[in-house]
Copies of this chain bind each other. A is one copy, B any other.
Amino acid sequence: MKLTTVRTGNGATSAAVQRGDVWELVAADDVGALLNSPERDEILARPTGSLPLGAADFAPVVIAPRKILCCGHNYRAHIAEMGRDAPEFPTLFAKFADTLVGAADDIALAPSVSALDWEAELAVVVGSTVRHADRDEAAAAIAGYTVANDISARDWQNRTPQWLQGKAFDGTTPLGPVMVTPDEFDPAEGARITCSVNGVLRQSGSTDDLVFDAAHLLSYISEFTALRPGDIVLTGTPSGVGAAATPPTFLGAGDVVETAVEGIGMLINIIGKDAS
């Protein structure tokens, strides 16, 4: 099953489920609200309208997750390339919901940022509450997978030992276009994850190359904090970021960033001026 969140005009949004060649809208404001509802199945069974697949204006799949956690240093090939050992524990940081934009929205480039970089990521959407969960419980709590780009202001990220300020610019993290449920998508089967900038392939990895997979991350995180329906976990980025290029290469206004995970979909975002 593929779920998404679409804009329906006047600032309103709706969760939607793909059936054949249409998006069927359902009575929930977004996928987050749908996942939080005890009537999830009944809501999905009673569509309130429909849209042709090509007509969707995607909002972030979950509009306002209460928690977004991100894992760094998580692709084996990237870690080996950097000459590092595989980490014993996941490196985790947080993002705010204000960072999120839709699959075709512009990405905000703030005037104070001089080194905006790309990070294609597989993202996990939490479907049920987990706390102190073992691996099996964590796996069972995965509602599905989507695509993110953890666009990073490297200049701000590297100002201090903590990355948050380079990862938390409002309007910089596209999330979508759809969430695919685990019965239809299994990262362990090795889906290709890519990022292209202006048509040039910059990142290409496989989702079976993660040091810490989705179930491991959810279980680990649940040791210190509860995860709830609609929370998002970004699983890290493969090699090929702009900061590691020779010479380092960053994003400028007008650049087109295409971020894809095979079997889920593609984000196509243009770097725009910061309008906030």
Q: Write the residues of chain A forming the contact surface with B, with a CB cutoff of 8 angstroms.
A: 66-67, 69, 72, 87-94, 96-99, 110, 112, 131-132, 153, 156, 159-165, 168-170, 221, 223-226, 276
Contacts and interface: CB of A to CB of B under 8 A. Distances in A.
Given A96-B94, A110-B223, A224-B110, A162 B159 contact: no
Contacts of A162: 72, 91-93, 162-163
Given A131-B276, A276-B131, A96 B225 contact: yes
Contact of A168 (B66, B110, B224): B224
Among A162, A168, A223, A276, chain B packs the most CB atoms within 10 A around the CB of A162
Contact of A165 (B88, B92, B131, B165): B92
A160 B96 contact: no
Contacts of A91: 160-162
Among A87, A156, A164, A226, chain B packs the most CB atoms within 10 A around the CB of A164
A168 B94 CA distance: 10
Contact of A224 (B72, B89, B169, B221): B169
A114 to B, nearest CB: 13
Given A87-B160, A161-B161, A163-B162, A276 B226 contact: yes
A112 B132 CA distance: 10
Contacts of A168: 94, 224-225
A170 B226 CA distance: 7
Contacts of A96: 66-67, 94, 225
The 5 tightest CB contacts between A and B, nearest first, are A91-B160, A94-B94, A89-B159, A169-B224, A93-B162
Contacts of A110: 223-224
A231 to B, nearest CB: 10
- Identical chains in the assembly: 2
Contacts of A87: 160
Contacts of A223: 110, 112
A161 to B, nearest CB: 6
6 contacts: A89-B160, A89-B165, A91-B160, A131-B170, A161-B161, A168-B224
Contacts of A226: 98, 170, 276
Contacts of A112: 223
Nearest to A98: B225
Contact of A160 (B90, B159, B276): B90
Nearest to A67: B96
A167 to B, nearest CB: 9
Among A72, A94, A224, chain B packs the most CB atoms within 10 A around the CB of A224
Nearest to A91: B160
